[in-house]
Amino acid sequence: MAYWIEARRSRGLNRVTRTVLLCSFALLVSFVPAAAATSVIPLSDSEINQYVKRLNLNQNQKPAVTSIMKRSRTEGESILKKHGVNPQSGKKPGLFQLMTLKKEFNSVVQWARAEVEKVLTPVQLREFEKIYAEGAALLRQRLLK
Amino acid sequence: MRQTMMRGLFYGLSVAAVMMIGVALTPPAFAADEEPLICSIIEARECTPDSPCRKVKLTDIFLAPLVVLDFAKKIIVSAAMDDRGRTEKITGHVKTPDEHIIYGHSDHKAWNAVVSRKSGSMTANVNSGDTNHVLFGNCAPHAYP
């Protein structure tokens, strides 16, 4: 009998532990997309690392290109801020809010292009253009979702 | 005296009948006052003080090719497959016999649009101080308001 009560209690505890664990997991999972959505610009550290791999950069090129991309991210974020885009608010941008955004982004992209041209080979530059086009599509998708 | 009264009544009834037939024959397309319209934006041009107006892609100015003008809710809302639910408040709506004239403003922008109640053609301006976007399109009653 005592064994049975003990077994029930431990099973009950297990159930409580399981519930607490499940709740913690659910909470963690619900916070992950919020954390990922802090920046809509597709130049997070992990994304930059992917681009660096795709560009097949040597040891001299790597720090230069990484710093160009990081500066582009900072500039891009300040442009978004100027336009009142706040992905953390969970609100979609207004219908006409983003109309001049690309024009301002273009100046950053032109600067970045001019800078990477000094460092990359023609083959790498072609890959950079592909990365830029993919990034632009991803930015649009993140801004409008 | 009685004859004059009868003649007056006859004329009155005739005028009322003609008016009722007129109302009944009015095309249903733009008859309802607050009926929402769905508009396709066919072309966009960007005008700045430095250069002549030039055509721009709607994707480049983050503008949905389909928008709904909801006069009852006083909003314009994007209704494209990949850009849905972004809104802009309608501050003013003037309805003349021939046009819907709507206008509004948001942070750093003022806009206006004129929609023909007869042909459905639409022109709009979105002005951001240094850039003016001119939009052309066509509107029709929204089938699924």
Q: Which residues of A touch B76 (CB under 8 A)?
A: 95
The token duo for B63 is 């503008």
Residue B57 scores a pLDDT above 90: yes
CB B122 within 8 A of CB B136: yes
**pLDDT, tens digit (0-9, with 9 covering 90-100), for A59-109:** 999 999 999 999 999 999 999 998 888 877 778 899 999 998 888 899 999
Return the number of CB contacts < 8 Å for A and B.
57
Chain A residue with Cα closest to B76: A95
B108 CB contacts (<8 Å, ≥6 apart)?
Answer: B128, B129
Q: Which residues of A touch B131 (CB under 8 A)?
A: 99-100, 103
Subunit contact B87:A103, Cβ cutoff 8 A: no
**How far A75 CA sits from the closest chain B CA (Å)?**
19
Reported residue count of chain B is: 145
**pLDDT, tens digit (0-9, with 9 covering 90-100), for A5-64:** 565 555 555 666 665 555 454 544 444 444 344 578 889 988 999 999 999 999 999 999
Please report the pLDDT score of residue B145 as a whole number. Answer: 58
ipTM > 0.90 for the complex: no
Q: Where are the beta strands (DSSP E) in B19-145?
A: 37-47, 54-56, 66-70, 75-79, 84-89, 92-95, 99-106, 109-116, 121-127, 132-141
Please report the pLDDT score of residue B83 as a whole number. Answer: 93
Please report the pLDDT score of residue B27 as a whole number. Answer: 44
**How far A98 CA sits from the closest chain B CA (Å)?**
6
Q: B72-84: string of b/e by CB count within 10 Å (b at 16+)? A: eeebbbbbbeebe
**pLDDT, tens digit (0-9, with 9 covering 90-100), for A104-145:** 899 999 999 999 999 999 999 999 999 999 998 998 888 887
Residue B97 scores a pLDDT above 80: yes
For B32-37, what is the mean pLDDT? 78
